[in-house]
Amino acid sequence: MVRCFLIHTVCPVNALGAGESRVLYCRVFGPDESLFTDQEREFSPEERRVLQREQTAVVARQVHSAASLSRGAAGRLLMEALPGEEALALQEADSGVLRLRAGDPFPEEMSALWLGVQSLGFTLVCEPHENLLLAEGTLRTLTRHCLEHLHLLGPGSEVLLRSDRIDALLSRLLPHGQLLFLNHRFAHSLEKEVAAYMTK
Amino acid sequence: MYSHGSESLIKQAREIQDSELQKFYSRLVKLLQGKELGYEMVDSLQRLHLILSANKYIRTLPPELQKRLQSLLSSPAEQFQVLSSAVLRETLPPAAHSGNYSQENIVQLNGHAAALLLSQAGSRADVSSLCTQLLRGLESRQSEGPTNSLTHTLPILNTILTHNPECLTEDHVTLLSKKLVDWLRYASILQGGGASSGGFFTGPRSRQPVPIAELDGTVSGDFFTVLCVGQSFTEDQWMNVFSFSALRHWLLTYHSVSNGNGTADTAHRLQLSLSLSHSHSFSNDDRSEVDGSVVSMVSATSSSSRLLPPKERLREKSFQYCQRLIEQSDRKAHKKSDADLQKACLVEAVCILDCVCEEDASLVFRAFPCIKALFGRLSSDLSFARVLLPIAQFYLNHGEMAAVDCGSVWALVFGRFPSELFNDPFLAHELLRFLRLNLESLQLRVPQYTHSFPNLLKFLAWDSPAVVDDFVDLLPSLVTAGTAVELLHTLLDLPCLSATLVLQVRSTCLPISEQSGRGLLSLDAFRSPSFRGLFLFLLRGEAGSGDTIDRLSTLHELLVETADWPRVVQCAQIVPVLLHIFFNTVITVADEKLLAHLILVMLERSSLLLNIPKYNKEIHRVFSSHLLRLCKLHPSLVMDQSHELLEFSGATANVYSKEEIYTHVVWVLGEYLSVSCDSRCSVTLITSCFEALEAVLFEITSSVPPPGADCPAPRVVTTLMSALAKLASRSHDLIPRVSLFLSKLRTVTRGGSVAWCSDEEDLVAIVTRGEELWSLLKAPGVAQSVLTPPAHVTTPQWHRDTNVALPLRLRTLTNLTHSH
């Protein structure tokens, strides 16, 4: 199961400190895990939300660091793709997978798969025994759709104001965090529904 | 991509004034009251979502607004479902929290509302009740209830089960197992209806059902799976996809339910197998009755599974499904995305087979031929490496039982994969995870594991930050007495390996004829036959062919320009961490002889490291701390290596180039070169050591440091002085010589600044120490007990010593006071 999907910055942001990442979209799936860990006291909903936010901030930061190091090591120049060149941007994207140890920040060990497209990172946090080949494919598909439908290669801020589009996309391709084995016909059917939603 | 505009939007959303926010809320309520679900509403809801999510602290909406948004959840327009669900997720659940759950039935809700309900669950009990509702919804026939709720049932159940498998009862397991069997094995094999999209001329021919097809276009001859295609799909075909997607997790999870009933199941199965002649079906809504006419290659070979209890039946059907997937993956798919899916399906199929074989060992004999054939098919194709890892896991789990030779599997995992695919981050992650999870089995069953570190470390050398965490866990298992020295050398030369791997990759990219004119001497060297051997040694796959090479300094010179390459720098940063782990582990497996050898290696290598800024210093620091530790644990090591240690401490150049190590070597000599630590220590040895150190001390305190070097730190001088004093306290003839030197030192420094010490405070500290030692040595007996204390003073065991034990004293006092 996928625990969460994030879109965040992997470039320096002026308003934040070095290494900090701005989380632009965050969707956590399933019931809150703090309900099930043995704790001395129960968290209130406010506390749970703060905890969740901080966990995703930690993930974003770690991915930002991993992406920067990976890009530095590869030594490639970051090319700016223009709107319309989504496929190219995806091809040029850096990718990797990070091990998140138990407790840092989730109670159990997790794997964070990430794709870095220019200044944005797209991250899927999954349980480690999950089929990572499938997760990788799903992440690429999600990223491609986000780039296209939110016009992320342009200068707009649609990722902030049109996050319902990402929700609709996730409800089809990653319902409640479930990775799906979709061949091209099933995928085509779902993508038609997604496209219909986006044109509204 | 991420612009200033976005940043300012977030700022505005965070800093919105309360009055403005309240105005916005009331405007929104008015819009919602108006029931005009238009563009302005959508826009306002999107802005509301941004405002609420921009802060990590939760806001509460006014109750009127909250109520209206709740009702929007069931709007017929999906966009409003999504928006209201997203907004409500960012707010506190309503006060009548438990009321929310008893009223709503999750089965009736659309996917977005269900997600909201799930995220707002406040307790385990809430989650359990959701689970029960979902399963009850499954029990009713598929024709009842909205269609979309069914497809969401499995994912929601799956996510609940991740956290809370205890909410399942035995009945639930039975029910879900039966449903999964139906969906997995008996989904329709005809393409979905609705192909005839209206039209006046829809004759009987256009309504003829078309069978599903395989990915290479041929007509499908067996049951429906995720690798079957059609123009459109029926509902049970969709459920087939969802079922398979959730299957592995389900098989792994339902264990926690059935713990108490294991014996009941086997007894039942035994009873059934004895009554094979009876052909009664197991339940009424079992669709296997209509199975007969379907041509089935896989299922024809299976045993009559109708008589098995539901869980076993699910296992059997899962087995068949996976076998079919493996067959289907051999077909050449027309599209790349389908080819990728085939790989993912292979991974999943092998994992599920592994899972069912764990539960039912009799399946191993049926599964192995299939897995072995798959291995044979894929083992020579490196693009299937990630599929071969689950196969390796299968071999590890069941190979012994099936008495299968796993040698070729391990040759791949420990041989070809690290040496050829070290730059695939996903393979690295999965392979290292495989090692971490199976460490004990591997150490038992794969004898070449501990010799494979030269290959495994290639992952680390290539991408240190990504995998260092895994190596922190794996390195201790690779430290054995037989390979410790070679491992130490390999770790110290990890940055060289890093540079070599970069060169290897570049060499394959750049054509050989091209002049690497941009000064890539290292690339030329890599390609030149005269230096080939050096690089080949670094790139070796197995340990055992020698600890290190003679021409190591040549290698370092060839690689000098690589010292600022990012991968090399990143690698150099993690080596000290690994060395700490290495030393901490090696003391648990090494005997004294090996430890003495390691000290030798430390001394030799301290000047034989790739010249990366700060690398030398860091390594010296690690060496120093472990040298100290080793000698403290086994003081006789100093005696064993006295010759090398003396040679090292007698070379004045070491004071300037390896200050940290030098200081510690001198310290251990002073501390442990004594008869009380090792009876082999002789007066001659103490004297020769004394003379060597004395000479160095004279030299550094009477001349200017050599050009390019800093003044020696005060610590070096004081350590030398203390060491001399300690040695003198053991051989009293030497005391006059030390005292003479110390008084001379006092005289010289009274004259003001000296060439070998730049800081006045430091000089004062040195002189003070000198005076303390001088006065101590005036009483040789005292000096001896202070500077060479016997063991019981340095390792007090007050609680064990019967003379000073506290309980004894207390008892004595009590007896004295209660003497009447």
Interchain contact, B112 vs A167, CB within 8 Å: yes
A66-74 mean pLDDT: 93
pLDDT of B811 reads 81
Stretch (H or E) spanning A123:
strand A120-126
Evaluate if residue B556 carries a pLDDT over 50: yes
**Across chain B, what does the average pLDDT equal?**
85
pLDDT of B32 reads 87
Give residue-wise pLDDT tens across range B325-355.
Answer: 999 999 999 999 999 999 999 999 999 999 9
What percentage of chain B carries pLDDT values higher than 90? 53
**Which residues 328-387 of B have a C-beta within 8 angstroms of A?**
335, 337-338, 340-341, 343-345, 347-348, 351, 386-387
Q: Which residues of A touch B566 (CB under 8 A)?
A: 69, 72-73, 75
Give residue-wise pLDDT tens across range B723-774.
Answer: 999 999 998 899 999 999 988 888 887 877 788 888 888 888 898 899 899 8
Evaluate if residue A25 carries a pLDDT over 70: yes
Least CB–CB distance from B344: residue in A96, A168, A181 = A181
Rounded CA gap, B710 and B656, in Å? 7
Q: Which residues of A touch B121 (CB under 8 A)?
A: 31-32, 35
Return the residue of A nearest to B115 by Cα.
A176
Evaluate if residue B106 carries a pLDDT over 80: no
The Cα of B595 is separated from the nearest Cα of chain A by a number of Å equal to 33
Evaluate if residue B283 carries a pLDDT over 50: no
Least CB–CB distance from A176: residue in B46, B152, B335 = B152
Q: Select from B4, B6, B8, B233 the residue whose CB has the most chain A CBs within 10 Å, as the one to mutate to test that interface.
A: B6
Q: Select from A50, A63, A176 the residue whose CB has the most chain B CBs within 10 Å, as the one to mutate to test that interface.
A: A176
Q: Select from A27, A49, A68, A100 the residue whose CB has the most chain B CBs within 10 Å, as the one to mutate to test that interface.
A: A49
Q: Torsions phi, psi of B405, nearest 5?
A: -80, 120
Interchain contact, A164 vs B83, CB within 8 Å: yes
pLDDT of B98 reads 44
Interchain contact, B566 vs A75, CB within 8 Å: yes
Q: Which residues of B touch A66 (CB under 8 A)?
A: 465-466
Burial of B277 (0-12, 13-18, 19+ CB in 10 A): exposed
pLDDT of B121 reads 83
* CB of B44 less than 8 A from some CB of A: no
* CB of B466 less than 8 A from some CB of A: yes
Of A74-83, B280-289, B374-383, B471-480, the least confident? B280-289
* A2-199: CATH class: alpha beta
The Cα of B810 is separated from the nearest Cα of chain A by a number of Å equal to 41
Closest CA to B596 of B639, B560, B561, B558: B639
Evaluate if residue B805 carries a pLDDT over 80: no
Evaluate if residue B402 carries a pLDDT over 90: no
pLDDT of B323 reads 96
Interchain contact, A30 vs B162, CB within 8 Å: yes
Farthest-apart Cα atoms in chain A, separation = 53
Q: Which residue type occupies B426?
A: F
More confident residue, B381 or B173: B381
Interchain contact, A24 vs B386, CB within 8 Å: no
Rounded CA gap, B293 and B281, in Å? 17
pLDDT of B296 reads 41
Return the residue of B nearest to A179 by Cα.
B245
Rounded CA gap, B741 and B435, in Å? 60
Rounded CA gap, B410 and B441, in Å? 13
Give residue-wise pLDDT tens across range B577-586.
Answer: 999 999 999 9
SS3 for B190-208 is: ECCCCCCCCCCCCCCCCCC
Interchain contact, B93 vs A45, CB within 8 Å: yes
pLDDT of B173 reads 86
Q: How many CB atoms lie within 10 A of CB B769?
A: 19
pLDDT of B688 reads 94
Burial of B16 (0-12, 13-18, 19+ CB in 10 A): middle
More confident residue, B296 or B178: B178
Q: Tokens in use for B4?
A: 């200033």
Confidence of residue A84 (pLDDT cuts 50, 70, 90): confident
**Which residues 151-170 of B have a C-beta within 8 angstroms of A?**
151-152, 154-156, 158-160, 162-164
Evaluate if residue B303 carries a pLDDT over 70: no
Residue B309 makes CB contacts below 8 A (sequence gap 6+) with B265, B268, B269, B272, B282
Evaluate if residue B398 carries a pLDDT over 50: yes
Of B137-151, B222-236, B387-401, the least confident? B137-151
The Cα of A145 is separated from the nearest Cα of chain B by a number of Å equal to 15
Interchain contact, A161 vs B154, CB within 8 Å: no
Interchain contact, B5 vs A32, CB within 8 Å: no
Of A59-68, B376-385, B759-768, the least confident? B759-768
Rounded CA gap, B671 and B724, in Å? 10
Vertex B96: Cα angle to B92 and B102 (nearest 5): 115
Least CB–CB distance from A45: residue in B1, B58, B112 = B58
A122-140 mean pLDDT: 95
Return the residue of A nearest to B49 by Cα.
A161
Of B16-20, B289-293, B521-525, the least confident? B289-293
Q: Tokens in use for B642?
A: 């006295």
pLDDT of B796 reads 66
Rounded CA gap, A191 and A172, in Å? 8
The Cα of A104 is separated from the nearest Cα of chain B by a number of Å equal to 12
Least CB–CB distance from A119: residue in B1, B45, B50 = B1
Of A96-110, B107-121, B509-523, B754-768, the least confident? B509-523
Q: Tokens in use for B180?
A: 């999964």
Interchain contact, A155 vs B58, CB within 8 Å: no
Of B340-354, B443-457, B516-530, the least confident? B516-530
Confidence of residue A34 (pLDDT cuts 50, 70, 90): confident
Interchain contact, B119 vs A31, CB within 8 Å: yes
Evaluate if residue A9 carries a pLDDT over 90: yes
The Cα of A18 is separated from the nearest Cα of chain B by a number of Å equal to 16
Least CB–CB distance from B6: residue in A131, A160, A175 = A160
Evaluate if residue B293 carries a pLDDT over 50: no
**Across chain A, what does the average pLDDT equal?**
90
Query: Domain-by-domain residue ranges, chain A?
Result: 2-199
Confidence of residue B423 (pLDDT cuts 50, 70, 90): very high
Of B31-45, B212-226, B594-608, the least confident? B31-45
pLDDT of B120 reads 85
ipTM for the complex shown: 0.96
* CB of B86 less than 8 A from some CB of A: yes
Confidence of residue B267 (pLDDT cuts 50, 70, 90): very low
* CB of B429 less than 8 A from some CB of A: yes
Of B211-225, B512-526, B619-633, the least confident? B512-526
B40-68 mean pLDDT: 89
B621-643 mean pLDDT: 94
Evaluate if residue A93 carries a pLDDT over 60: yes
Q: Select from B56, B89, B506 the residue whose CB has the most chain A CBs within 10 Å, as the one to mutate to test that interface.
A: B56
Of B174-188, B672-686, B802-816, the least confident? B802-816
Give residue-wise pLDDT tens across range B562-582.
Answer: 999 999 999 999 999 999 999
C-alpha radius of gyration, chain A, whole number: 17
Closest CA to A166 of A8, A13, A1, A58: A8
Q: Which residues of B touch A129 (CB under 8 A)?
A: 252
Residue A32 in contact with residue B118, Cβ under 8 Å? no
Residue B161 makes CB contacts below 8 A (sequence gap 6+) with B131, B168, B249, B250, B253
The Cα of B250 is separated from the nearest Cα of chain A by a number of Å equal to 11
The Cα of A144 is separated from the nearest Cα of chain B by a number of Å equal to 13
Q: Where are the alpha helices (DSSP H) in B293-363?
A: 297-300, 310-328, 336-359
Give residue-wise pLDDT tens across range B120-171.
Answer: 887 888 888 888 888 888 777 554 545 556 778 899 989 888 877 887 888 8
Interchain contact, A35 vs B343, CB within 8 Å: no
Interchain contact, B337 vs A159, CB within 8 Å: no
